[in-house]
Amino acid sequence: MGIEVRHELKGVGENLRDHYSPRMKWTVPLSLGMTYNDKAPWPWPVLAGAEIRPHPQGLLGLPAAPIRAYVRTRAGLDAPDAAISWIPFLVGENFKLAKDSGVIAIMNILRSESTGSIHVSSRAPNVPPAVRFNFLSAQLDREVTLEAMRITRRIMTAPAMRGIATDEIAPGVNIQSDDELLDWVRNNAETTYHPVGTCKMGSDPMAVGRRPASCARYGRAARRRCVDHADADLGQHQCAVDHDRGEGIPDDPCGGSLIDRLSPAESSKIIPHQASGKTHAAR
């Protein structure tokens, strides 16, 4: 492409991981007044803005998902491997509130093993990069996604939900087999914009930052702080863990491994990750 290579690192742009999430949907009777499809005032952008002040409440006061569950999709796991999130409204075209009342359930594997890449496609800065997510390319991702969807169905059809979640409108009760569900997921799921991994740290040939020598060299050269995400997979959420570590590292770009700074009690919680051999903290 005519771009001078200053330092070749084969791992740059590789190991891209993201949360690929199907959105399952159920209708909720308007008469119950339980969703923002029927509770949102009109003109709701103005009134909802006033509603959030002085105390966060109403539609604009919602977090990304006000209800969230972390679940184990199979026996023998030390920690949950899937997340299910619920939002109390349906969305129509152009992300507008739908006229029908309902609820959306979003689920995904927590630690995706499907890997893709992102690379420059042109020397022109206004040309978008080539992004290849390779969603669901790993068997574990497919298995966990399917089981998370089935767990969600069991929750939404439980006796306590009778008369509340009335009809499954996506994917629909007619879609049941693994192949049918995966085909629907591939055509309808969306990223949750939690990309991680393309600046992988560690000591293997695909590592972009190698602790500690290259961390000091490249971190200081770029005037960037360095955080090692290769030694532990703490918590349940790959993107949240990255953000938390980034906020917590010191100004010294080689502040050391996170494990080195854990208390003895915290260090004792580090356990092997069954699937990948990585480690994570039991919660």
Catalytic residues: 194
- CA-to-CA dists, residue 28 to 57, 88, 164, angstroms: 21, 9, 5
DSSP tally for the chain: helices H, then strands E:
7, 12
Place of tokens 């903290």: 281
One-letter amino acid at 236 equals Q
- CA-to-CA dists, residue 37 to 27, 33, 61, 104, 156, angstroms: 11, 9, 15, 12, 19
**By C-alpha distance, which of 20, 247, 26, 24 is closest to 144?**
20
Can the peptide bond before residue 171 be classed as cis, meaning omega within 30 degrees of 0?
yes
- HSE-up of 185 (CA within 13 Å, CB side)? 27
DSSP string, 157-191: TSGGGTTTS--EEETTTT--SHHHHHHHHHHH-EE
The token pair that represents 157 in the structure block? 């059809």
Q: Is 24 helix (H, G, I), strand (E, B) or coil?
A: strand
